[in-house]
Structure 1
Amino acid sequence: MKTLKEYFNELNDNRQSGKVKHLISEILVIALCAVCSGVQTVFEIGEFAEVKKDWLKNEVGLLLENGVPSHDTIGRVLAMINPKQFQSLFISWIEQSLNIPTGSYIHIDGKTLRGSASEQSRGIHLVSAFAHEAGVVLGQIKCAEKSNEITAIPELLNLLKLKSSIITIDVMGCQKEIAKEITKKKCDYVLALKENQPAAYNDVKDYFSIEDKDFQNTLLRFETLDIGHGREEKREYFLSTNINWFADKNKWANLKSFGMVKSTVRCKGKQYSEKRYFISSIEDINEFVTAVRTHWTIENTLHWSLDVIFRDDECQIREKNTAENIAILRRICFNRMKMYQNGKTLKRKKMLCTFDDSFRFNVLFS
């Protein structure tokens, strides 16, 4: 099994060989350790290297034959590294480290690195794939400038090796081509359907509004009730496997069902409800319920943790390659902390990585 440092060694190094004093793998290990400790800037990575020089040599095992690299050298290397190649190595490392079981729920969603925005350009937008059961990032890819998630999602799917997974995507990903790409990978999909697909949305909405008793009896149903903090939320799940009426059924790869979720909330004497609609390739109501309920873990677990615990949005590095590569390092740290099982919360692990050299070593390299 290859180590992270060995993966880092595979990165292309375009520096002039006669002027290279620091291995690219050692620079990335230093940056990884620094980011794991809460560092936010390239200058701080250089400061971390100076302060932790003995630990990096004696415990982590770096050679540092020419001392520690300066923050200028670290910055040049992080700007030089091709993020797509770095991302590919990240995915290979995850696939080696974790066996994502058949039938896993994989949630895809985007997040903008707000600190990377400037007056001249919008912030970097990354689309991530999150494995629900394992609780880790499987990979992410940057949306191209003047593009959006519709073009990035198929590219991300092509990078991932998935086994009969159920893939959920919010509204932006509800596209015929994306459904086709998911089906090519022999996976299933549950795609949120809204007004960006007006014809399909209105057809499915009208379909579920039929009040005929015989029709209602054909629907698969499931219900959940959550009560707490003076708030009651009832969710009613409906799934129909009758797709013959749908005019565009042959345009959606492996289409097998339509879903609806009705949420009714009672709080402080008031009540409101909403209905959400889905297009899917699954026929099992329990799988549909799990797919819908767990989709938001990518927002509530991954994106929340990156923002609140790893301060993702506060990082104001604006050099695009550098910002994206450090974002990849943060996600490596997130995964390593999630994979390191010691009974402590992610927040607690992050704090210990900041102050405890031994704990940081165990999280990153054990």
Structure 2
Amino acid sequence: MNHGWVAVVVATDLVYPAPCLEALREGAARDQVRSLVAEFESLTDPRGASGVRYRLSSLLALVVCAMTPAGHDSITAAAEWCWRAAPEELAAFGLPYHPLLGRYRVPSEKTLRSVLSRLDPAELSAAGFAYLTSLLSGERATPAPLMPDGGQEREQRRAHQAVAQADPVRRRRRAIAVDGKCLRGARRPDGSRVFVLSAVRHGDGITLASREIGAKTNEIPEFAPLLDQIDDADFAGAVITADALHAQHAHAAYLHERGAHYLLTIKNNQRGQARQLHRLPWEKVPVIHRDDARGHGRHELRLVQVVTVDGLLFPHARQVLRIQRRRRLYGAKKWSSETVYAITDLPAEQADAAEIAAWARGHWTVENTAHWVRDVIFGEDKSQVRTRNTPAVLAAVRDLIRSALKLAGYVNTAAGRRAHTERHRVLAFYGIT
């Protein structure tokens, strides 16, 4: 009998007993959940009007909270987190109350999978960024990090080291990195891999927008639709950094039309531009910026040269950057070298060599801060979820959690997740008390 009962639990939505109805009518907890759910209310519900039992905003808030603690990286783990919720916590999420049974309903794993598979990941990313923006603006107070003994001191020490190692260049413009990522564990029905293109802010690594790349296309045609999700207030005047794949004339024209600027890497995939850049008189150009860094078991030296140009084949190009990177492992005698070229439409009076070099190096924020954290801390590449939009939707959820922990003061995302293994800390973190 026990085994049969468990089978019913897995296949159906659960219900839990409620506290007294007077406490339910007070609705205090339900008002406080708006701090997380309010931005989700604007999302388009992909479900039909009939048979809808749970609000979309309640389900998404449950998923975000359930995947915040360490060890909850899958939909199955998120569903188990929901099943263990107390009645007052279910009331706070706005879940439906069954008056005849006297209990709250809890969504099953099947319900969560069905909803997540049909959501628009771009819409979810926009709602997540709106929530993070409200945290930055101070409309909602972000709680101080709740760490175990010694954890707070460790995080402060890491934050101090990060500031000390940060590039001291004072940047006059915002910078946004655009880069794609393959979700290695996911496959479409035709066997193709799932790719997600993201726009990540330099410095704090907050994801501004994301977009799933279709099975029969690539990153290039998705560049403009991705950046269309960013408001003009955050976009105008910003510098967009991207790799050589996006060194396209159409991309430069799009950014110029929207009042933004670019810093694009040029490689041999753009042969005409690459030839022009190689022919410039670099031997006569002095090294005007030098970056000598040591760490991660190696010594790295960057030499930066900048040339003001006019008449390049690339539209609106005003400066060309050449970075010579030399690396050597500690104890080794031989250096490995690499030369990288990049172009920008900013003139010298608006962006000096140090700023351009800082943007070029900061582009790797999207790899080190966003993609690496999702792969290693959230186990994204190990996930084999592949139904419809679910892989891209879960990527947006992970970005939201990672960014929220970052804004709360957690330099290390893994430490932030371990600090929220207790349920009441997760609810307090998102303003659900």
**TM-score range relative to shorter protein:** 0.7 to 0.9
Distance 1:84 1:344 in 2: 26
Give the C-alpha shift of residue 55 in structure 1: 6.0
Does the CA-based 8 Å contact 1:237-1:261 persist in structure 2?
A: yes
SS in 1 for 2:328: strand
Equivalent residue letter for 2:423: D
- Residues 333-363 of structure 1 show CA distances to partners (whole Å, capped at 9, x for unaligned) of 111111112x56321101122x122332233
Does the CA-based 8 Å contact 2:73-2:378 persist in structure 1?
A: no
Alignment partner of 1:300 is 2:333:
no
Does the CA-based 8 Å contact 1:114-1:124 persist in structure 2?
A: yes
Distance 1:134 1:228 in 2: 20
Alignment of 1:262-277 (within 5 A): 262-267=324-329, 268-277=332-341
Give the C-alpha shift of residue 33 in structure 1: 1.3
Counterpart residue number, 2:66: 34
Counterpart residue number, 2:345: 281
- Residues 217-267 of structure 1 show CA distances to partners (whole Å, capped at 9, x for unaligned) of xx57211112357633221101111224x3x2xx51x32111100112234
Counterpart residue number, 2:387: 319
Counterpart residue number, 1:361: 427
Does the CA-based 8 Å contact 1:265-1:271 persist in structure 2?
A: yes
The verdict on how the C-alpha distance between 1:102 and 1:11 changes in structure 2, with shifts beyond 3 A counting, is farther
Distance 2:411 2:300 in 1: 30
Aligned length: 351
The verdict on how the C-alpha distance between 1:347 and 1:84 changes in structure 2, with shifts beyond 3 A counting, is closer
Does the CA-based 8 Å contact 1:143-1:151 persist in structure 2?
A: no
Give the C-alpha shift of residue 179 in structure 1: 1.4
Does the CA-based 8 Å contact 2:126-2:208 persist in structure 1?
A: no
- Residues 260-301 of structure 1 show CA distances to partners (whole Å, capped at 9, x for unaligned) of 001122341112211110111122212211111211121111
Does the CA-based 8 Å contact 1:240-1:257 persist in structure 2?
A: yes
Give the C-alpha shift of residue 208 in structure 1: 4.5
Counterpart residue number, 2:300: 233
Give the C-alpha shift of residue 16 in structure 1: 4.1
Does the CA-based 8 Å contact 1:126-1:142 persist in structure 2?
A: yes
Distance 2:326 2:219 in 1: 30
Equivalent residue letter for 1:21: R
The verdict on how the C-alpha distance between 1:85 and 1:285 changes in structure 2, with shifts beyond 3 A counting, is same
Does the CA-based 8 Å contact 2:309-2:317 persist in structure 1?
A: no
SS in 2 for 1:192: strand
Counterpart residue number, 1:130: 200
Alignment partner of 1:47 is 2:80:
yes
Does the CA-based 8 Å contact 1:34-1:48 persist in structure 2?
A: yes
Does the CA-based 8 Å contact 2:328-2:334 persist in structure 1?
A: yes
Does the CA-based 8 Å contact 2:122-2:210 persist in structure 1?
A: no
Counterpart residue number, 1:79: 117
Give the C-alpha shift of residue 198 in structure 1: 0.6
Equivalent residue letter for 1:74: L
Distance 1:300 1:13 in 2: 34
The structure whose Rg is larger is 2
Give the C-alpha shift of residue 36 in structure 1: 1.4
Which has the higher mean CA deviation after the structures are superposed, 87-96 or 62-71?
A: 87-96
Which has the higher mean CA deviation after the structures are superposed, 38-47 or 164-173?
A: 38-47
SS in 1 for 2:326: strand
The verdict on how the C-alpha distance between 1:348 and 1:91 changes in structure 2, with shifts beyond 3 A counting, is closer
User: CA RMSD for the aligned pairs?
Assistant: 2.5
Distance 1:120 1:90 in 2: 30
Identity %: 25
Does the CA-based 8 Å contact 1:53-1:68 persist in structure 2?
A: no
Which has the higher mean CA deviation after the structures are superposed, 7-16 or 144-153?
A: 7-16
The verdict on how the C-alpha distance between 1:300 and 1:88 changes in structure 2, with shifts beyond 3 A counting, is closer
Counterpart residue number, 2:320: 258
TM-score for both structures, normalised by structure 1: 0.87
- Residues 299-327 of structure 1 show CA distances to partners (whole Å, capped at 9, x for unaligned) of 11111111111111112111121222222
Distance 2:334 2:244 in 1: 28
Alignment of 1:1-366 (within 5 A): 3-37=35-69, 38-54=71-87, 56-57=89-90, 60-66=92-98, 67-98=105-136, 103-117=173-187, 120-161=190-231, 162-209=235-282, 211=283, 215-216=284-285, 221-228=288-295, 231-244=298-311, 246=312, 248=313, 251-252=314-315, 254-267=316-329, 268-282=332-346, 283=348, 284-341=352-409, 345-353=412-420, 355-365=421-431
Equivalent residue letter for 2:274: Y
SS in 1 for 2:263: strand
- Structure 1 unaligned segments of length 5 or more: list them: none
- Residues 111-147 of structure 1 show CA distances to partners (whole Å, capped at 9, x for unaligned) of 1111112673222211111112333111111112221
The verdict on how the C-alpha distance between 1:95 and 1:115 changes in structure 2, with shifts beyond 3 A counting, is same
Equivalent residue letter for 1:185: R
- Structure 2 unaligned segments of length 5 or more: list them: 1-31, 99-104, 138-170
Distance 2:204 2:297 in 1: 32
